[in-house]
Chain A
Amino acid sequence: MSKSSKIRVVVILAVVIALYVIPQSPLTTDNTMRIGLLIALYCTLGLMWNLMAGYTGMVSLGQQIFIGIAGYNVAVFATTFGLPFWAGMFCGAGISVLLSVALSFLLFRMKGMYFAIATWITSEALKIIFTSWEFVNMGGGMTIKLRPYPDVFELYYISLTLVIGAFLVVFFVLNSRIGLGLKAMRDDDDASAAMGVNIFRAKLLCFMISGFVTGLCGALFYINQGSIFPGPGFGISWTVAAVFIVIIGGIGTITGPIVGAIIYVFLSEFLSQYQGYSMIILGVIAIAVILGLPYGIVGTIERKFGFEVLSTRRTMKNLLSGGRANVDYSRGRDLRVSK
């Protein structure tokens, strides 16, 4: 391991430990925890959208499918059956995965905008189903009743663990063989199939991961909210938030969503003063960033300084040895292949 990557690991570990320890200080209040919680959840949401759009080229407009499904799961489990929240949370994420598998046979026949629109239509269909489903109180929505209700500190720790887990999953998937295939698919899926990438399986894996983690994220969002309605639950605004976060942070970068989520949460807190204009201001900022920094904030910094906080670039060296041994294949050039 090189010196710079050692420093990097130490810094990352220090930040993670700090995020776990800081809330114990007397200075933190419910409010700082609430904001930390939102950042963690929005960051997870962005990461999962980025995994699909930024790395595999599947631009989904239907992330709210998983949010809504998981949110309703928590509500039904807690309110209707009186079960603890984690039961609804994991069951919701599980159903999201099953749903993503079921949908994949339909959705993966479409590419680009057709995929995007199909995911959106699916979420709209679910919205209508939930609006007319008596079991979930139809359009009247459900209140999530938990006793005792997890407090904001608890939710913060769960969300922090979730976002760190999401980072690890994304990092390891992208650094795996499949990750390489995913990145190839993003550039050219026919050509990557011709190279032996099983496109369907790779896409499905991403969709399933995205479904599972977004599901957990949605469950936590709604545990924090306390009530769920089909309209906002399956609303496009979840995906709009994810897109904003990823574009601002930098599409196709691993750390972009952190920056994007921090900006998004603080901005929407701040903009609540300006009644009615917050969406417009968010839109203007997004457009300005796209025009001025087409790779997003993190993407632009990485390009300018040639530095990636967490790299998924491959060289034969780190691929073969995990960066441990000294494999100097450059000498191989002297090895003439026998003719």
Chain B
Amino acid sequence: MRTNRDMLIVEGLRVNYGDFVAVDGADFRVPQGAIVSLVGTNGAGKSTLIDCISGITKPAQGRVYFKGENITGKPAHEIVAMGLTLVPQGSRCFVRMTVEENLIIGSYTKKARASRMETLKYVYDLFPALYEKRNDLSGALSGGQRQMVAIGRALMSKPELILFDEISLGLAPTVIKDIYVRIREINRSGGVTVVLIEQDVKRSLRASSRCDVMLKGRIVLSGSPGELTEEKIKAAYFGI
């Protein structure tokens, strides 16, 4: 069932918040080296799904495999150490720390620490704006810059898979475009597999090599941008 090509496999995942079922038996796969986008309306369970994958929330049922290893219910810090990193919604920078401290935090795990000098160079190279602002408190940055800090911070952990949670939320279109360029660069040059959570169907189709649609806690449609037309996705998106 599992193949080496799939870096992440989620099987029948179910997450409850009390009586509310946020994720209801979702199946989800991410091939190695791909950019997979996960679209869906507010409350479809996308964020819960990836929070659960990255170990922040615990599932009630189901399994998560990363690089062939069962990581279901492992604590977040162990999952990061394995090379799976989340860029949380709204960037969630450490606002009372400088940009550089934020980045250094990214290399908190043992594996990442060994090469953090190189990674830091790589991040500053990718986002020159961060180098300029490295001694500023990250709380003082603009929304776009904070998003860069969050991405840079995630890169510092030397991930093999990054999950981006609604990275474009609340940003200006030009900034979004710029950030998408960086994400593609990370994928191509860094060889990092990417999962993008999005609400904008058009943008995700353009950016990704595979697209999954989530509705009411389940994955209802899945395929490559070639197979999926915008209409098909929209129908699945709204459940019509």
Q: How many residues of B contact A (CB 8 A)?
A: 47
Please tell me which one of the listed residues B106, B125, B157 contacts residue A335 in the complex, with CB atoms under 8 A apart.
B125
The secondary-structure label for the interface of chain A is helix
A333→B134 CA distance, assembly (Å): 13
Do A180 and B104 touch across chains, with their CB atoms under 8 A apart?
A: yes
Residue of A nearest to B124 (CB): A333
* Given A180-B104, A187-B94, A195-B106: A335 touches B56 (CB 8 Å cut-off): no
Residue of A nearest to B97 (CB): A183
| Chain A residue contacts of B54, Cβ below 8 A | 194
Binds B, one of A23-31, A41-49, A206-214, A310-318: A310-318
Decide if A329 touches B121 in the complex (CB within 8 Å).
yes
Given A315-B100, A329-B117, does the pair A195, B157 have CB atoms closer than 8 Å?
yes
Q: Do B125 and A181 touch (CB < 8 A)? A: no
Q: How many A-B residue pairs have CB under 8 A?
A: 115
Q: Out of B56, B98, B113, B117, which one reaches A314, CB within 8 Å?
A: B98
Contact A187 B96 (CB under 8 A): yes
B76 touches A (CB below 8 Å): yes
List B68-115 residues whose CB lies under 8 Å from chain A: 75-77, 80-81, 85-86, 88, 92-98, 100-102, 104-106, 108-109, 112-113
> Given A190-B88, A314-B104, are A196 and B96 also a contact pair (CB < 8 Å)?
no
B120, A180: Cβ atoms closer than 8 Å: no
- Assembled-state Cα–Cα distance A199/B75 (Å): 10
Q: Does A191 make an interface contact (CB < 8 A)?
A: yes
Q: CB-nearest residue of chain A relative to B84?
A: A194
Report whether B125 and A183 are in contact in the complex, using a CB–CB cutoff of 8 Å: no
Residues in B whose Cβ lies below 8 Å from that of A196: 76-77, 80-81, 108-109, 112, 157
Contacts of A327 in B (CB 8 A): 117
A186 within 8 A of B: yes
Q: Which residues of A contact B100 (CB under 8 A)?
A: 314-316
Alpha-carbon separation in the docked complex, A202 to B5 (Å)? 36
A residues near B113, Cβ cutoff 8 Å: 177
**CB neighbors of A among B117-162 (8 A):** 117, 120-122, 124-126, 128, 131, 134-135, 153-154, 157
The interface residues of chain B lying within 8 Å CB-to-CB of A199 are: 77
Chain A nearest Cβ from B28, distance in angstroms: 19
- Residues of B22-59 whose CB lies within 8 A of A: 54-56
| Interface pair A338/B105, CB less than 8 Å apart | no
Interface of B is mostly: helix
Q: Are A316 and B104 in contact (CB under 8 A)?
A: yes
Q: Which single residue of chain B is at the shortest CB-CB distance from A319?
A: B104
Give the shortest distance, in Å, between A30 (CB) and chain B (any CB): 43
Q: How far is the CB of A173 from chain B (nearest CB, A)?
A: 15
B189 at the A interface (CB under 8 A): yes
Q: A188 — which chain B residues lie within 8 A by C-beta?
A: 92-94
B151-178 interface mask toward A, CB cutoff 8 Å, 1 = contact, 0 = none?
Answer: 0011001000000000000000000000
Contact B108 A195 (CB under 8 A): yes
Q: Which residue of B lies closest to A334 (CB)?
A: B125
Per the bound structure, the CA–CA distance linking A153 and B61 in Å amounts to 64
A155 within 8 A of B: no
- Indicate whether A336 reaches chain B with its CB closer than 8 angstroms: yes
- Asked whether A184 lies within 8 Å of B105 as measured between CB atoms, the reply is yes
- State the Cβ distance, A288 to closest chain B Cβ, in Å: 24
Q: Does A104 contact B (CB under 8 A)?
A: no
- Nearest Cβ on chain A to B48's Cβ, whole angstroms: 13
Given contacts A177-B113, A194-B54, A320-B117, 4 further A-B contacts (CB under 8 A): A181-B105, A193-B55, A193-B75, A332-B124
26 residue pairs from A and B, CB less than 8 Å apart: A183-B96, A184-B97, A186-B96, A187-B94, A187-B95, A190-B88, A193-B56, A194-B80, A194-B85, A195-B85, A195-B105, A196-B108, A252-B96, A313-B98, A314-B104, A315-B98, A315-B135, A316-B117, A319-B104, A320-B117, A332-B124, A333-B128, A336-B125, A337-B122, A337-B189, A339-B188
